[in-house]
């Protein structure tokens, strides 16, 4: 039911006429998103079935609080978002007010000494890191790209990032937080007048704030957050020049005391050994992988054009690499002092050799040598990742966070075999069996991995194949009964048969009935049930849960 004129006026009075709209053209921009195809009933299109009631743009925490209070008073459900990349950023429910936090875009402070920045929701990592680098710090930008909100990543959703080996997972990088609770009360996590910690007094309410996945807007609105930043050994600004393969740019001058390596391993066991050994050695600023050679090439070709990838295949470059490489790993060495860099280099090569890994010949000569030397650092620093959408569709599945051994055993069979069947059916991009993306955190204390499948969002067959692929992959994993089902905990994808929330309901009992615990917490914190629950817990079905 649309907002009544009177209620609309209430919201309008809070933010002003210019900052609220219920025009269709405005609402549709909050209905269409990446991965909507994976919500039952939406494919092959990318529009959710419901538009929000209106979109409102608060300019301050006070306005957010007033909006949330009004929502509670008038029984209006609400869903906040910041940069809103991916279907989880929108509500799947009907009759929801969408709160777009774009006007709240300030960096309130960078505390260079104590190593954190206080930001509002619409400060993307690219803006934050531009300022952080000036004071010798760097934020762990989300792997979805540095155009994504830092606050959202730290307080509300995901947390994986490319620099995590050094900087950790972003679920652990939140300090003080200002939070408008689902019922409209505003609290500060940590001290009331400082941002250096968000824990206490007593139990840390960060525990209610996000968890592993993030509340995804289902738990009130985080209006400010102190983001822990990390040491940055690089320059205050990075000079780039046009060129390069995958981001359009290359370094105008080499970074001092920095080097990117691509190392190959003959099998997954060796890959695991290598990752553990590099973790123990603590010599890498970043450790990640972008799948096997074919997948890596597909990713790397992204910016120049899809034609480039075809050309590389036709020139035999991909095949040659596939013949030489097996399961590569990418590592960034980055040191503050020459001594440190020399040590890192020495230890790194020792580890590589001892583990039976090698540096492929192909990456020691142009063009891949140049790519690693001149471009890969840009990928890690600039973190422009929208190249991954060759056809506007980039399916992430089997997301898994855990120890290297538990994760890596799922990088090979059965995922590869399953994928290749879909490759043969031309439903997804033919980029080899191994398309495992991975990041290490806290010196490989744990890793995140996901399988990536490129599809064409404009091709109904391709979309449908991906939906089938996800469903089949989940069935396969379920049959294995060995813990791999943990995969879906980190993601928000439905499949051909069920919503992710239905999937969570199935998984709940395997994970301590987390869905019941979450619903208990939801009811305690959101007595009027107005904070959007469609991407929280098991979704709207939780209303019927006996808790």
Partner 1 sequence: MALEDYRNDMMRCVRCSSCKFIPLGSIVKSWQFAYGCPASKQMNFHSYSGSGKLIAALSWLDGRIGVTPELLDVVYRCSLCGLCDVSCRMGTDMEVYEILHQLRKKLVAEGHGPMPAHKPVIESVRNYDNVWVQPRNRRGRWAKGLSVKDLSKGKEKAEVLYFVGCTYSYASDLMHIPRLTAELFTRAGVDFGILGARELCCASPVYMVGQQDLYEEYAKKNIAMFNELGVKKVVTSCAGCYGVFRSKYPLLGEDMDFEVVHAEEYLAELIGSGALVPKNKVDLSVTFHDPCHTGRMAEIRAPSGGGEECHLGCLPVKNVEKVLGFDGSYDAPREILAAIPQMKFSEMERIREYSFCCGSGGGAKSAFPDFALSAASDRVEEAMSTGAEALVTNCPWCEKNFADAVRETGAPIRVVDTIELLAQSL
Partner 2 sequence: MKSAKSKNLEGDLAAIVGAEFVSSEPGETAAYGADRSYVPRKNPDAVVRPQTREQVRAVVRWANRTRTPLVPVSSAPPRFRGDTVPAAGGVVVDLSGMNKVLRVDRRNRVMVAEAGATFEDLAPLAEAAGLRMVGPLLPKAGKSILASVLEREPGIAPRYQWDVSDPLCCMEVVFGNGEFFRTGEAAGPGGLEAQWKIGGAQKFPCGPHQLDYHRLVQGAQGTMGVATWASIKCELLPSVSSLFFLCHDELAPLVSYAYKAVKRNVGEELFLANGKALAMMAAADADQAARFAHGFPSWVLVHVINGFERLPEERVAYQTADAADLAQDCGLALKKRVDGLGSASFLKRLRTPGAKPYWKHAAKGASQEIFFVTTMDRAHQYLPIVFNEASRAGYPASDIGVYLQPMVQGSSCHMEFVLPFDPEDERDAERVREVFFSVSRALLAAGAFFSRPYPAWAADVYRARSDAVIPLRRVKSVFDPNGVMNPGKLCF
Residues 279-308 that bind partner 2 (CB under 8 A): 279-282
441-460 residues near partner 2, rule: CB under 8 A:
442, 445-446
The contact mask relative to partner 2 for 495-514 (x = CB under 8 A, - = no) is ---------x-----xxxxx
Q: In angstroms, what is the minimal distance from the CB of 183 to partner 2?
A: 9
By CB under 8 A, name the one of 7, 11, 14, 33 that touches partner 1.
33
**Least distance (Å) between residue 407 CB and partner 1:** 26
Minimum distance, C-beta of residue 382 to partner 1, in the bound complex (Å):
5
Q: Check if the beta carbon of residue 541 is closer than 8 Å to that of residue 500.
A: no
Distance CA 220, CA 439 (A): 29
* Between 231 and 313, CB nearer to partner 1: 313
Q: Which residue number, 148 or 160, has a Cβ lying nearer to partner 1?
A: 148
Cβ distance 437 to 399 under 8 Å? no
Q: Are 270 and 338 in contact (CB under 8 A)?
A: no
Which one of residues 1, 5, 307, 512 is an interface residue with partner 1 (CB under 8 A)?
307
> What residue spans of 87-141 are helical by DSSP H?
125-134
Please report whether residue 32 would count as binding partner 1 according to CB under 8 A: yes
Restricted to residues 308-337, the positions that interact with partner 2 (CB under 8 A) are 336-337
Cβ proximity of 224 and 120 under 8 Å: yes
Per-residue contact track with partner 1, 437 to 456, x per CB under 8 A? -----------------xxx
Residue 273 to residues 155, 357, 443: CA-CA distances in angstroms? Answer: 33, 9, 14
Sole window of 27-35, 282-290, 349-357, 528-536 interacting with partner 1 (rule: CB under 8 A) = 27-35
Rounded Cα distance, 60 and 82, in Å: 13
Which value, to the nearest 10 degrees, does the dihedral of the CA atoms of residues 132, 137, 143, 148 take? Answer: -20
Site string for partner 1, 453-492 (x = CB under 8 A): -xxxxxx-xx------------------------------
DSSP assignment, residue 89? G
C-alpha span between 510 and 289 (Å, rounded): 29
242 binds partner 2 (CB under 8 A): no
Q: Which of these, 407, 437, 406, 446, lies nearest to 172 by C-alpha position?
A: 446
Q: Which parts of 72-145 are beta strand (E)?
A: 77-81, 96-100, 107-111, 116-119, 137-138
Q: Which of residues 359-388 bind partner 1 (CB under 8 A)?
A: 378-379, 381-388
Options 142-150, 169-177, 191-199, 485-493: segment touching partner 1 (CB under 8 A): 142-150
Judged by CB under 8 A, the chain residues 110 through 139 that form the site for partner 2 are 111, 113-116, 136
Q: Is 83 in the site for partner 1 (CB under 8 A)?
A: yes
For position 143 contacting partner 1 by CB under 8 A, the verdict is no
Give the DSSP letter of residue 154. I
Q: Which two tokens stand for residue 333?
A: 């060495």
């Amino acid at each position: 039911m649309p907002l009544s004129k009177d209620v609309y006026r209430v919201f309008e009075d809070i933010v002003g006429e210019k900052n609220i709209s219920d025009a269709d053209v405005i609402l549709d921009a909050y209905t269409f998103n990446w991965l909507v195809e994976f919500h039952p009933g939406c494919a092959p299109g990318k529009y959710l079935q419901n538009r929000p009631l209106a979109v409102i743009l608060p300019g301050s925490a006070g306005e957010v609080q007033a909006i949330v209070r009004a929502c509670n008073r008038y029984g209006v459900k609400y869903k906040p978002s910041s940069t809103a990349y991916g279907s989880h950023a929108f509500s799947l429910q009907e009759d929801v007010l969408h709160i777009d936090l774009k006007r709240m875009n300030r960096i309130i402070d960078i505390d260079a000494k104590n190593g954190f920045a206080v930001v509002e929701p619409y400060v993307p990592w690219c803006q934050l890191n531009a300022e952080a680098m000036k004071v010798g710090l760097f934020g762990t930008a989300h792997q979805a790209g540095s155009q994504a909100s830092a606050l959202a990543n730290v307080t509300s959703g995901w947390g994986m990032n490319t620099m995590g080996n050094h900087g950790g997972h972003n679920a652990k990088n939140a300090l003080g937080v200002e939070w408008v609770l689902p019922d409209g009360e505003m609290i500060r996590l940590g001290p009331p007048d400082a941002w250096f910690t968000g824990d206490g007094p007593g139990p840390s309410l960060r525990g209610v704030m996000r968890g592993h996945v993030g509340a995804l807007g289902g738990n009130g609105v985080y209006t400010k957050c102190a983001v822990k930043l990390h040491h940055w050994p690089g320059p205050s600004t990075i000079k780039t020049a046009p060129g390069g393969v995958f981001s359009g740019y290359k370094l105008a001058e080499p970074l001092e005391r920095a080097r990117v390596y691509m190392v190959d391993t003959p099998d997954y066991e060796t890959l695991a050994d290598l990752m553990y050994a590099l973790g123990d050695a603590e010599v890498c600023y970043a450790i990640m992988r972008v799948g096997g050679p074919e997948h890596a090439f597909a990713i790397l070709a992204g910016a120049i054009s899809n034609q480039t990838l075809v050309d590389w295949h036709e020139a035999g470059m991909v095949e040659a690499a596939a013949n030489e490489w097996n399961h590569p790993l990418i590592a960034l060495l980055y040191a503050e002092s020459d001594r440190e860099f020399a040590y890192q280099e020495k230890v790194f090569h020792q580890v590589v050799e001892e583990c039976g890994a090698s540096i492929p010949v192909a990456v020691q000569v142009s063009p891949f040598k140049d790519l690693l030397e001149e471009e890969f650092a840009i990928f890690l620093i600039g973190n422009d990742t929208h190249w991954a959408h060759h056809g506007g569709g980039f399916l992430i599945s089997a997301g898994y966070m855990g120890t290297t051994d538990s994760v890596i055993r799922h990088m090979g069979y059965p995922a590869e075999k399953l994928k290749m069947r879909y490759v043969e059916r031309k439903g997804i991009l033919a980029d080899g069996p191994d398309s495992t993306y991975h990041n290490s955190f806290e010196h490989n204390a744990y890793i995140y991995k996901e399988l990536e499948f490129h599809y064409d969002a404009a091709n109904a067959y391709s979309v449908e194949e991906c939906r089938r692929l996800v469903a089949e992959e989940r069935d396969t994993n379920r049959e294995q009964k060995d813990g791999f089902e943990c995969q879906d905990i980190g993601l928000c994808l439905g499949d051909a048969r069920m919503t992710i929330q239905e999937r969570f309901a199935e998984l709940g009992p395997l994970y301590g009935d987390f869905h019941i615990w979450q619903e208990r917490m939801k009811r305690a914190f959101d007595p009027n049930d107005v904070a959007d629950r469609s991407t929280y817990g098991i979704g709207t079905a939780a209303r019927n849960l006996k808790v």
